[in-house]
Structure 1
C-alpha cells in the first residue's frame, strides 16, 4: 500500500463516518499521510483527526477513535493506533510490502517517472548562460528531468536562487568526475553553500558512494542468486517461523517496514522535488533509502548461507532488493548520476 492508497483509504473512512452521521464535518478534498517523525510509531501517521476535531465539535481523540474503528481490519493495514492528542498511526501488513515490491518491479523505470523519457545515464549540463554558474546549470538540468518525471513539464521554471560555487563546471568535473560533481552541487538546499572536496572519496563516508554502492549491491545479489539457480519472487521476507508455531513466517522486521516506507514514498518525493524546485529532497531520499537497505540487508540476508538451499524467503528478499535497486537507479537517473552495476 502506497501513501496515496492509504490516503484514499482514510478519506473513504471519513466519508463513511459523515454519511452514517458519526461525524458532522465537511469531507476534506485530500488527507495527508506521511512517515512518522520517529521510529516505533508505525509505518505512516496522519493528523486528520486533529484537523476534523474543531469542525466536528468533538475531542480529537474521540474523532480518531471513530476513524480507527472504521479502518481496523482494512486489507493491507495490520494495526491502527491513536497517539498523543489524536494522531493516527498505521502499521501496514506484510501483504502491503509484497504488493509494493510487485508494483515497483512491474513498473521498472516508470516507477516515480511519468515521463518515461529516455534520459542519458548521466547529466550533460553545459556551463549554462553567462553568470549562471556551474550549480545553476546542474540544478536546472536536474529539475528538467524531475519536473518531467512528475508530470510538470513546462511548469517547473528555472533553478531557484542558489548560493554559487567559485569554480566552473569543467574545472569541477575534471577534478571530481561527473557523478561527484553533480552530487555535491545537487545535495545542499538552495540557500546552503556547496562544500567542494579536494578529490572524490570512494568510501562509505561519502553519501554519493553509499547510494551507488547500494545499487551495485542489489545488482550483485541478483547475479549471485542467478549463479545459485534462483530468481526473485515477491513474498514474505521474515524468517521462517519456529516449528509448531502454526505460522509459515515470522513477521517482517522493522527494518523491512522502514525500507518499504521509503520505496513507497519515492513517487511523492519526486513530485515534491519538482513542485518545490528542490532536487536536494530527492538526494536525501536516496541516501535514506540506501542506508535503510543496508540495515535491512544485515537483518535479512537475501542469499542462502553455507550449504543452505534457496527458500521462498530468499526469493522474497531478493525481490525486495531488486525493487530497492530499481528505486535507486530511477532516482539517480533523474539526478543525472550513474547507477553502476559493479562498484
Structure 2
C-alpha cells in the first residue's frame, strides 16, 4: 500500500463521515500522507484533520477521532489512531506494505510515473545560448536542469516539447562575425569582439570550406562568415549538448521570425488589443498596465525592432503551435525579464499564471584545491560545458548540477566529483544500484529465482529494515510528482541518496541469499522481490536525472 493508496482511503473516510453527518467540512484537494520520523507512530501519518478542522468547526483532534475508525476499517489497515493535536497515525497490516515489492517489479520502468499532468501540452525552452561561442558552465546547469525537468514533467503525464532558441539575428552575431574575420585575416581581435582559441578554430574551418572567401567583396565575405561561422559554431554546441545527454525536439531560429514577418504580426495583435502607443517617434507597449515597472519599446524611433518585440513574436509563435503553457528557463542575469514577459502575455490576452512560467537559475563556479577555476584553455576566460565534462565526467557533472536547487549559487568541487568514494553523491547512489544487481546476478548463477507473482508472500517482509526500505520505495511516485510540480529536480537526487542509505542498511541487516549449507525458502524469494524492486527504483531515479545506472563498478 502506497501513500497515494492511503490518501484515497482517507478521502473515502472523510466522505463517509460527511454522508453520515458526523463531519461537515471542505475536503482538501491534496491529502498528505508521510512516513513518521518515529517508528512508534505507525507506518504512515497524515495531518488531514488539521486541514479540515476550521471548515468542520471542530478541534483537529476531534476530527482525527472521527476519521480513525473509518480508516481502520479499510482493507490492509491494522489501525488508525488520533495523536497529538490532530494527527492520524496509521499502521498497516502485516504484508500490506510488503506487497509493494511485487507491484514495483511488475510495473518495471513505469513505476514512479503518474498522470497528474495528463493533457497538459507544454513548451520548455532552456539553454538557448547565443551561437557566438561554446556553451559556458552556466548554460551547462540549464542543460541538466532543463533536461531533467522535461523528464519529470513527462513522468507526471505532460506532453513536453524541448526547445532551443537559436539567436542568429542581432549585434552579438555581428561581433562574432567580425571576430572570425579578424582571425582569418590575422588581424587583432576587434575591441568589442570575442577571443579564445575557438574563434581561430572556427575561422580556419570557414577558410577550409570556402578557401577564396577573403577575396570576395566585403559584404559577401561577411555574409559567408555569418552563415558558415554560425552554422559551424551551432553544430559544435549541439554536439557538446548531445554528449552531455541533452537533446532538443526543436531548434528555433530567431531569424525566421524576422523573415516570416512574425514581428509585424505580433505588433498588429498587440495594437488590436489597445495596448500600443506612440511617443517621441517610437512605438511602445503599455506593460505598466499589467504590473511591469515601465513601458517597453517595440519599434525604435529609427524604425528598427527591439529585442523585446522578437520576444513577443516568439511567445505568440509558441502559443500558436498549441502549447498551453510556455516555460522559459533563464539565468540570474535575466531576472529583470520576468515582469515584462508576464505583462506581455497579459497584453496578448493570456493569463500569465496559467500560460507563462519563467524559471530563474543562479550561477555555477568550479573549484579545485579550494580555489575557483577561472580559465578555459579554449574559450579564454569562460568555463565551458566541455571543460566540466573533461574534468569530472558526464555522470558526475549532471548529478551535481541536478542535485542543487536552482535558487542557489553552487561551487562544484572538481576533486570531490572526480572521486570514486561515498563522499561523492553520484558514486554513492550508483554503487547502491550495483548492490542489488550483484545479489540478483549471484542468485541467477546459483539457480535461485524469486518465483511467480502469485507465490510471493508479502507477509514475510516484516523486518524493521525491510519495512523501512519498502516505505522509502513507496515514496518514489510522490517524489517524482512533487519534483515536477514544484520544478525542483533536486528532490529526486536527495531521495535517491536517502534510498541508497536505506538499501545499504537493509543489505547489511537482512541476508538475501542463503549460506552454502542452506536451502532457499519463501523468505529468500520474498527478499529477492524486494531486491529487484530496489534495483528498479534506483535505476528509474537515475534515468530521470539522465545519469547511468551501472550494474558493476
With normalisation by structure 2, the TM-score equals: 0.55
Aligned residue number for residue 212 of structure 1? 430
Aligned residue number for residue 254 of structure 1? 464
Decide whether the 8 Å contact of 2:362 with 2:407 is kept in 1. Answer: yes
Q: 2:500 aligns with which of 285, 290, 297?
A: 290
Decide whether the 8 Å contact of 2:514 with 2:520 is kept in 1. Answer: yes
Q: CA deviation at 1:68?
A: 0.8
**Do residues 193 (structure 1) and 409 (structure 2) align?**
yes
Q: CA deviation at 1:150?
A: 1.2
Aligned residue number for residue 119 of structure 1? none
> Within 5 A, what are the aligned runs for 1:19-168?
19-113=19-113, 129-130=129-130, 133-154=139-160, 155=325, 157-159=327-329, 160-166=359-365, 167-168=383-384
Question: What value does the CA root-mean-square deviation take over the aligned residues?
Answer: 2.2
Change beyond 3 A, Cα 1:213–1:70: same
> Within 5 A, what are the aligned runs for 1:316-331?
316-331=526-541
Q: CA deviation at 1:294?
A: 0.9
Distance in 2 (CA, whole Å) between partners of 1:254 and 1:91 is 14
Change beyond 3 A, Cα 1:113–1:57: closer
Change beyond 3 A, Cα 1:301–1:158: farther
Aligned residue number for residue 341 of structure 1? 551
Is there any run of 5+ residues in structure 2 with no aligned partner, and where? 116-125, 131-135, 161-324, 330-358, 366-382
- Equivalenced residue count is 322
Decide whether the 8 Å contact of 1:237 with 1:317 is kept in 2. Answer: no
Q: CA deviation at 1:127?
A: 7.1
Q: CA deviation at 1:288?
A: 0.8
Change beyond 3 A, Cα 1:306–1:279: same
Decide whether the 8 Å contact of 2:2 with 2:97 is kept in 1. Answer: no
Q: Which has the larger radius of gyration?
A: 2
Aligned residue number for residue 444 of structure 2? 226
SS of 1:223's partner is helix
Decide whether the 8 Å contact of 2:14 with 2:67 is kept in 1. Answer: yes
Distance in 2 (CA, whole Å) between partners of 1:296 and 1:273 is 26
Distance in 1 (CA, whole Å) between partners of 2:152 and 2:509 is 33
Show CA shifts across 1:211-259 (max 9, x none).
1111111111111111222122564577xxxxxxxxxx5x712322222
**Do residues 310 (structure 1) and 520 (structure 2) align?**
yes
Change beyond 3 A, Cα 1:15–1:204: same
Structure with larger RCO (C-alpha < 8 A, sep 6+):
1
Aligned residue number for residue 388 of structure 2? 172
Show CA shifts across 1:260-303 (max 9, x none).
12211211211111111111001111111111111112221211
